[in-house]
Amino acid sequence: MALNMASNPGGFRGGDKVPVVIFSPLQRPLRPISRTSNIQSTAIVTQGDLTYCRATCHCRRCDLRVVFPTASLPIHNYLCNCTSCRHGTGEMAFHTARILGNPMDAETDGPFAVEVMDSYSPRDRLGVERFFCPTCSANMLVRIDLSLREEADKRGGEPEDCAFGRNRSEKPSEQELEEGFQWRVAGGALRNYEGIIQPMYHLNLASTMDGGVADHLRTFDGNQLIRYSEGVGSKVLPFEWHSPTLTDDQPEEISAFCHCRAVSVKVSRPDDRAKSLRSPFPDLIYPTDVTYRAKLRNPGDEKWWLRGPYKEGEPVRYLAGHCSCAFCRMTGGFDFQSGTFIPRFNIREADQESGRTIVFSQQESRPKGLKQYVSSPGRYHEFCGTCGATAFWWHVSRPNLVDLSMGLLDASVDGVRAEHWFEWHKSRVSNMQVSGSRKMVASLVEGLRQA
Ligand SMILES: [Zn+2]
Ligand SMILES: [Zn+2]
Ligand SMILES: [Zn+2]
Ligand SMILES: [Zn+2]
């Protein structure tokens, strides 16, 4: 959730001591994608009946191709907003598309060696295995064991359609039945899916309690996204719908946790420590590529991460927003990452007393369950090593002010957008000028204007 992607923010000024990072996992050498590479030219290749699409994670450990029947394109798809998808990825929604056969190696016609990925089998989805990059956390593939379909039906409790689950409207093919598996690929993991996947609706919005990201992402490519409360054909929920169980009465802390709960924290309201920090402006507020560096450094020491309303003169909310940079897309597997800026003093591990302060750069003070990916010098992405959910992002220019993935929030407290806690930045999507998902981000920008 790199909401501040300045190439060299250089805005660090006293106050926050730059830490010496002593925790660094073994990683393959980074091979970042250059903007001038031929990504687009190899992203989609059509050969007669078959169309091949390339999917790559940020660190490039996972580089593969998937196949779609050309005649089936574009696939009319949906964004799943269910609890399992949100907490399993840290994203506010997720989309995956069914592929033909198995994933293939990026360069050869052989199968992709799925063993290079980590996998996670959510307890609430029988026979479903999600695959993510163990180095950079990109959620990329889903494998569904077809032999467990009937048992899952009997057990019940699963949504009819889910990005990380079975899809009752999609009958298994003969080949899939023979092999016993069905595969899906994450849309955001594809280098390009224009003409391949066409999101048409939001699903499982009832679980968001407040419509979640569907109130921000209202259309795709000019078409209104239908807002189903559950599966296709279920009740349609209007904009600004809220579950009647939500109230203005809020607890002192709000919980955030990944699907497997290895990462579980609580966030408290801003306090004096939250105001004592200094930080340069993020790209979310001022585009870092066209703004004077002197301005980005925030010389007026504006506490831009703190937002009203005010209680006894003190701000009670934090700033939240969406980022669409290549880093967010390629580490998350979704088109954009939604995050909020929170001082680390206001985050505590759920099972710890409030006295223990989190320090991401010190092994003994890091939240449990996290794995760290250094996307480039000074930029740290923290994710759950068990279920692959994105959790935090921070930068040496602001080590005490971290981004938290909004998909981890406990929606039962204040809905997925949690507007009693966070003010959403609506005039801009971070890094929208360099987004790899142009149509999605243009739609998001438009939706935010209307929200
Ligand atoms: Zn980003
Ligand atoms: Zn990776
Ligand atoms: Zn889902
Ligand atoms: Zn987890």
Query: Which numbered ligand comes closest to the C-alpha of 205?
Result: 3
Query: Which numbered ligand comes closest to the C-alpha of 32?
Result: 2
Contact 407, 389 (CB under 8 A): yes
Tokens coding 156: 């019940």
In whole angstroms, give the CA distance from residue 269 to residue 184: 40
Q: How confident is the model at residue 42 (pLDDT cuts 50, 70, 90)?
A: confident
* 162-208 pLDDT per residue, tens: 999 888 878 899 999 999 999 999 999 999 999 999 999 999 999 99
Contact 257, 87 (CB under 8 A): yes
The pLDDT of 307-330, averaged and rounded, is: 95
Query: Which numbered ligand comes closest to the C-alpha of 434?
Result: 1
Confirm whether pTM is higher than 0.85.
yes
The pLDDT of 11-31, averaged and rounded, is: 34
Contact 67, 51 (CB under 8 A): yes
Tell me the CA–centroid distance for residue 59 and ligand 2, in Å.
4
* 332-349 pLDDT per residue, tens: 999 999 999 999 999 999
Beta bridge mates, 50: 47, 69
Tokens coding 15: 């106050």
- Strands (DSSP E) contained in 213-300 are 219-220, 223-224, 226-227, 253-257, 264-268
* 439-448 pLDDT per residue, tens: 999 999 999 9
Tell me the CA–centroid distance for residue 139 and ligand 2, in Å.
9
Task: Return the SS3 of 404.
Answer: strand
Beta bridge mates, 349: 265
Nearest to 335 by CA among 346, 347, 344, 326: 326
Task: Return the SS3 of 447.
Answer: helix
Proportion of the chain above pLDDT 70, given as a percent? 90
Alpha helices in 128-249 (DSSP H): 149-155, 174-179
Q: How confident is the model at residue 355 (pLDDT cuts 50, 70, 90)?
A: low
Q: Which residues contact 17 (CB under 8 A, 6 or more apart)?
A: 399
Tokens coding 144: 């569904």
Tokens coding 40: 């687009």
Tokens coding 217: 């992402």
The structure tokens 């300045």 sit at 6
pLDDT at 108 over 70: yes
Tell me the CA–centroid distance for residue 88 and ligand 3, in Å.
9
In whole angstroms, give the CA distance from residue 152 to residue 127: 8
Lowest-confidence pick of 34-38, 53-57, 260-264: 34-38
Per-residue pLDDT at 357: 81
Tell me the CA–centroid distance for residue 89 and ligand 4, in Å.
9
Q: How confident is the model at residue 22 (pLDDT cuts 50, 70, 90)?
A: very low
In whole angstroms, give the CA distance from residue 167 to residue 150: 13
Per-residue pLDDT at 354: 63
Say which amino acid occupies 442: A
Q: Beta-carbon neighbour count of residue 103 at 10 Å?
A: 24
Which 8-state DSSP code applies to residue 30?
P
pLDDT at 21 over 60: no
Tell me the CA–centroid distance for residue 329 and ligand 1, in Å.
7
Per-residue pLDDT at 434: 85
Per-residue pLDDT at 9: 31
Instruction: Starting at the earlier edge strand, list the strands of the sheet with 347-349.
Output: 253-257, 264-268, 347-349
The pLDDT of 365-377, averaged and rounded, is: 93
In whole angstroms, give the CA distance from residue 287 to residue 281: 9
Contact 90, 333 (CB under 8 A): no
Instruction: Enumerate domains of the chain plus CATH numbers.
Output: 42-75+94-196 (2.170.150), 253-450 (2.170.150.70)
In whole angstroms, give the CA distance from residue 51 to residue 34: 25
The pLDDT of 202-231, averaged and rounded, is: 97
Contact 67, 47 (CB under 8 A): no
Give ion ligand 4 contacts, CB < 5 A: 258, 260, 262, 384, 386-387
Tokens coding 157: 């409790």
Q: Three-state SS across 185-196?
A: EEHHHECCCCCC
